[in-house]
Chain A
Protein backbone atom coordinates (compact mmCIF):
# COMPACT_ATOMS: atom_id res chain seq x y z
CA UNK A 1 0.00 0.00 0.00
CA UNK A 2 1.77 3.11 -1.23
CA UNK A 3 2.07 6.02 1.15
CA UNK A 4 1.00 9.59 0.55
CA UNK A 5 2.56 10.82 -2.69
CA UNK A 6 3.49 14.41 -3.38
CA UNK A 7 4.93 15.91 -6.51
CA UNK A 8 7.02 17.59 -7.41
CA UNK A 9 9.44 17.11 -4.54
CA UNK A 10 11.21 20.34 -5.43
CA UNK A 11 9.79 23.31 -7.29
CA UNK A 12 11.53 26.53 -8.28
CA UNK A 13 9.49 29.51 -9.41
CA UNK A 14 10.24 33.14 -10.16
CA UNK A 15 8.23 35.86 -8.48
CA UNK A 16 4.86 36.29 -10.17
CA UNK A 17 4.63 32.76 -11.52
CA UNK A 18 2.13 30.10 -10.46
CA UNK A 19 2.97 27.04 -8.35
CA UNK A 20 0.89 23.85 -8.45
CA UNK A 21 1.52 21.23 -5.81
CA UNK A 22 -0.05 17.79 -6.05
CA UNK A 23 -0.96 15.27 -3.39
CA UNK A 24 -2.26 11.73 -3.86
CA UNK A 25 -3.55 10.35 -0.56
CA UNK A 26 -3.05 6.79 0.59
CA UNK A 27 -5.42 4.25 -0.94
CA UNK A 28 -8.73 4.31 0.90
CA UNK A 29 -8.12 7.77 2.36
CA UNK A 30 -10.62 10.47 1.49
CA UNK A 31 -9.49 13.20 3.89
CA UNK A 32 -6.61 15.46 2.89
CA UNK A 33 -4.84 18.16 4.89
CA UNK A 34 -2.25 20.68 3.69
CA UNK A 35 0.38 22.17 6.00
CA UNK A 36 3.16 24.69 5.43
CA UNK A 37 6.53 24.68 7.13
CA UNK A 38 8.55 27.86 6.95
CA UNK A 39 12.32 27.55 7.53
CA UNK A 40 13.18 26.69 11.13
CA UNK A 41 9.51 26.56 12.15
CA UNK A 42 6.86 23.94 12.89
CA UNK A 43 4.08 22.96 10.54
CA UNK A 44 1.09 25.26 10.24
CA UNK A 45 -2.32 24.04 9.07
CA UNK A 46 -3.63 25.49 5.83
CA UNK A 47 -6.68 23.60 4.61
CA UNK A 48 -8.69 20.39 5.12
CA UNK A 49 -10.54 18.82 2.20
CA UNK A 50 -12.70 15.83 1.46
CA UNK A 51 -13.59 14.75 -2.04
CA UNK A 52 -15.08 17.78 -3.84
CA UNK A 53 -15.47 19.72 -0.58
CA UNK A 54 -13.40 22.20 1.41
CA UNK A 55 -14.12 21.48 5.06
CA UNK A 56 -11.82 23.95 6.82
CA UNK A 57 -9.72 26.62 5.11
CA UNK A 58 -9.07 28.71 8.19
CA UNK A 59 -5.30 28.51 7.70
CA UNK A 60 -5.24 29.58 4.07
CA UNK A 61 -3.99 33.05 3.18
CA UNK A 62 -6.91 35.12 1.90
CA UNK A 63 -5.35 35.82 -1.49
CA UNK A 64 -3.41 33.88 -4.12
CA UNK A 65 -3.86 30.47 -2.44
CA UNK A 66 -6.49 27.89 -3.39
CA UNK A 67 -6.96 24.16 -2.94
CA UNK A 68 -9.12 21.48 -4.45
CA UNK A 69 -9.67 17.74 -4.13
CA UNK A 70 -11.67 16.59 -7.16
CA UNK A 71 -13.71 13.42 -7.42
CA UNK A 72 -10.98 11.92 -9.56
CA UNK A 73 -7.29 12.68 -9.27
CA UNK A 74 -4.99 14.23 -6.72
CA UNK A 75 -5.53 17.17 -4.42
CA UNK A 76 -4.00 20.38 -5.76
CA UNK A 77 -2.64 23.32 -3.81
CA UNK A 78 -2.32 26.30 -6.12
CA UNK A 79 -0.36 29.46 -5.39
CA UNK A 80 -0.79 32.28 -7.84
CA UNK A 81 1.72 35.11 -8.34
CA UNK A 82 4.22 33.64 -5.93
CA UNK A 83 6.36 35.89 -3.73
CA UNK A 84 9.61 35.10 -1.91
CA UNK A 85 7.72 34.66 1.36
CA UNK A 86 5.95 31.65 -0.14
CA UNK A 87 9.24 29.72 -0.09
CA UNK A 88 8.61 26.83 2.27
CA UNK A 89 7.99 23.11 2.52
CA UNK A 90 4.39 22.16 1.84
CA UNK A 91 3.20 18.91 3.34
CA UNK A 92 0.10 16.92 2.56
CA UNK A 93 -1.40 14.44 5.01
CA UNK A 94 -4.30 12.02 4.63
CA UNK A 95 -6.55 9.97 6.87
CA UNK A 96 -9.03 7.19 6.09
CA UNK A 97 -12.65 7.41 5.01
CA UNK A 98 -13.78 6.12 8.39
CA UNK A 99 -11.57 8.67 10.11
CA UNK A 100 -8.84 7.68 12.46
CA UNK A 101 -6.95 10.00 14.69
CA UNK A 102 -3.68 9.61 12.81
CA UNK A 103 -2.72 11.64 9.78
CA UNK A 104 -0.11 10.15 7.48
CA UNK A 105 2.24 12.60 5.84
CA UNK A 106 3.75 12.75 2.38
CA UNK A 107 7.41 13.66 1.79
CA UNK A 108 6.60 17.30 1.13
CA UNK A 109 7.22 19.72 -1.72
CA UNK A 110 10.00 22.25 -1.26
CA UNK A 111 9.04 25.47 -3.02
CA UNK A 112 11.75 28.02 -3.71
CA UNK A 113 10.76 31.40 -5.10
CA UNK A 114 13.57 33.34 -6.73
Chain B
Protein backbone atom coordinates (compact mmCIF):
# COMPACT_ATOMS: atom_id res chain seq x y z
CA UNK B 1 0.00 0.00 0.00
CA UNK B 2 1.12 3.53 -0.71
CA UNK B 3 1.68 5.65 2.38
CA UNK B 4 3.04 9.13 3.04
CA UNK B 5 4.70 9.95 6.35
CA UNK B 6 5.39 13.37 7.79
CA UNK B 7 7.25 12.82 11.04
CA UNK B 8 7.25 16.45 12.21
CA UNK B 9 3.83 17.49 13.57
CA UNK B 10 5.13 21.01 14.23
CA UNK B 11 8.06 23.13 13.16
CA UNK B 12 9.03 26.72 13.80
CA UNK B 13 11.37 29.14 12.10
CA UNK B 14 12.51 32.71 12.54
CA UNK B 15 11.55 35.16 9.84
CA UNK B 16 14.18 35.29 7.04
CA UNK B 17 15.67 31.96 8.12
CA UNK B 18 15.49 28.61 6.31
CA UNK B 19 13.45 25.60 7.37
CA UNK B 20 13.16 22.07 6.00
CA UNK B 21 10.03 19.92 6.27
CA UNK B 22 10.43 16.16 5.97
CA UNK B 23 8.37 13.66 4.01
CA UNK B 24 8.89 10.00 3.24
CA UNK B 25 6.68 7.71 1.22
CA UNK B 26 6.33 4.04 0.52
CA UNK B 27 5.61 2.70 -2.95
CA UNK B 28 6.56 -0.10 -5.32
CA UNK B 29 5.83 2.08 -8.36
CA UNK B 30 8.61 3.59 -10.45
CA UNK B 31 6.62 6.39 -12.05
CA UNK B 32 4.73 8.78 -9.81
CA UNK B 33 4.31 12.40 -8.77
CA UNK B 34 4.98 14.17 -5.50
CA UNK B 35 3.50 17.41 -4.22
CA UNK B 36 3.64 19.85 -1.36
CA UNK B 37 0.41 21.68 -0.55
CA UNK B 38 0.02 24.57 1.87
CA UNK B 39 -3.11 25.04 3.96
CA UNK B 40 -3.24 28.46 5.68
CA UNK B 41 -5.81 29.30 8.36
CA UNK B 42 -8.38 29.92 5.61
CA UNK B 43 -8.01 26.13 4.96
CA UNK B 44 -7.74 26.63 1.21
CA UNK B 45 -5.37 24.01 -0.27
CA UNK B 46 -2.66 25.74 -2.27
CA UNK B 47 -0.14 23.91 -4.44
CA UNK B 48 3.40 24.89 -3.45
CA UNK B 49 5.56 22.66 -5.61
CA UNK B 50 5.48 19.38 -7.53
CA UNK B 51 8.05 16.82 -8.64
CA UNK B 52 7.91 14.11 -11.29
CA UNK B 53 9.67 10.95 -10.11
CA UNK B 54 11.36 10.43 -13.49
CA UNK B 55 13.12 13.78 -13.22
CA UNK B 56 16.40 13.74 -11.34
CA UNK B 57 16.55 17.51 -11.04
CA UNK B 58 14.98 18.89 -7.88
CA UNK B 59 12.03 21.22 -8.43
CA UNK B 60 12.24 24.85 -7.33
CA UNK B 61 9.62 27.59 -7.11
CA UNK B 62 11.06 30.90 -5.93
CA UNK B 63 11.83 30.45 -2.21
CA UNK B 64 10.60 26.86 -2.19
CA UNK B 65 12.71 23.90 -3.26
CA UNK B 66 12.67 20.17 -2.74
CA UNK B 67 15.29 17.55 -2.00
CA UNK B 68 14.03 14.47 -3.85
CA UNK B 69 15.87 11.27 -3.00
CA UNK B 70 14.17 8.54 -5.03
CA UNK B 71 16.18 5.61 -3.67
CA UNK B 72 15.50 6.71 -0.11
CA UNK B 73 11.86 7.60 -0.95
CA UNK B 74 12.33 10.99 0.61
CA UNK B 75 10.84 14.31 -0.52
CA UNK B 76 11.67 17.21 1.78
CA UNK B 77 10.62 20.82 1.32
CA UNK B 78 13.02 23.68 1.97
CA UNK B 79 11.65 27.16 2.54
CA UNK B 80 14.28 29.89 2.26
CA UNK B 81 13.96 33.44 3.58
CA UNK B 82 10.86 32.47 5.55
CA UNK B 83 8.06 35.02 5.71
CA UNK B 84 5.21 35.45 8.17
CA UNK B 85 2.80 34.48 5.40
CA UNK B 86 4.45 31.06 5.16
CA UNK B 87 2.84 30.05 8.46
CA UNK B 88 0.43 27.23 7.63
CA UNK B 89 -0.09 23.49 7.60
CA UNK B 90 2.02 21.81 4.95
CA UNK B 91 0.94 18.52 3.43
CA UNK B 92 3.09 16.18 1.39
CA UNK B 93 1.14 14.17 -1.20
CA UNK B 94 1.80 11.35 -3.66
CA UNK B 95 0.06 10.24 -6.83
CA UNK B 96 0.76 7.16 -8.95
CA UNK B 97 -0.45 8.48 -12.26
CA UNK B 98 -2.17 11.51 -13.70
CA UNK B 99 -5.57 9.88 -13.31
CA UNK B 100 -5.19 8.70 -9.76
CA UNK B 101 -6.08 9.98 -6.35
CA UNK B 102 -3.72 11.94 -4.13
CA UNK B 103 -2.49 10.29 -0.94
CA UNK B 104 -1.68 12.80 1.76
CA UNK B 105 0.53 12.79 4.82
CA UNK B 106 -0.77 13.98 8.17
CA UNK B 107 0.77 17.43 7.81
CA UNK B 108 3.35 19.66 9.50
CA UNK B 109 2.26 22.85 11.18
CA UNK B 110 4.81 25.60 10.47
CA UNK B 111 5.04 28.63 12.72
CA UNK B 112 7.06 31.67 11.66
CA UNK B 113 8.30 34.04 14.36
CA UNK B 114 9.24 37.67 13.69
Judging by beta carbons under 8 Å apart, are B99 and A55 in contact?
yes
Q: Which residues of B72-114 have CB atoms within 8 Å of chain A's CB atoms?
A: 91, 95, 98-107
* Contact A101/B52 with A31-B99, A55-B99, A108-B43 known, Cβ cut-off 8 Å: yes
A95 CB–B CB distance under 8 Å: yes
Residue of A45, A55, A110 near B102 (CB, 8 A) is: A45
Size of the chain B interface, CB-CB below 8 angstroms: 23
Asked if A59 is at the interface of the complex by the 8 Å CB criterion, the answer is: yes
Across-interface contacts of A81 in B (CB, < 8 A): none
Chain A interface size, under 10 / 10 to 19 / 20 to 34 / 35 or more: 20 to 34
Min CB gap A1→B, angstroms: 15
Note all chain B residues with C-beta closer than 8 A to A104: 47
Give 17 CB contacts A-B under 8 Å.
A33-B101, A41-B106, A42-B106, A43-B91, A43-B104, A45-B102, A48-B101, A89-B43, A93-B102, A101-B95, A101-B98, A102-B35, A103-B102, A105-B46, A105-B47, A107-B43, A107-B44
Interface residues of A (CB under 8 A from B): 31, 33, 35, 41-45, 48, 55-56, 59, 89, 91, 93, 95, 99-105, 107-108, 110
Chain B residues at the A interface, C-beta cutoff of 8 Å: 33, 35, 37, 42-47, 50, 52, 91, 95, 98-107
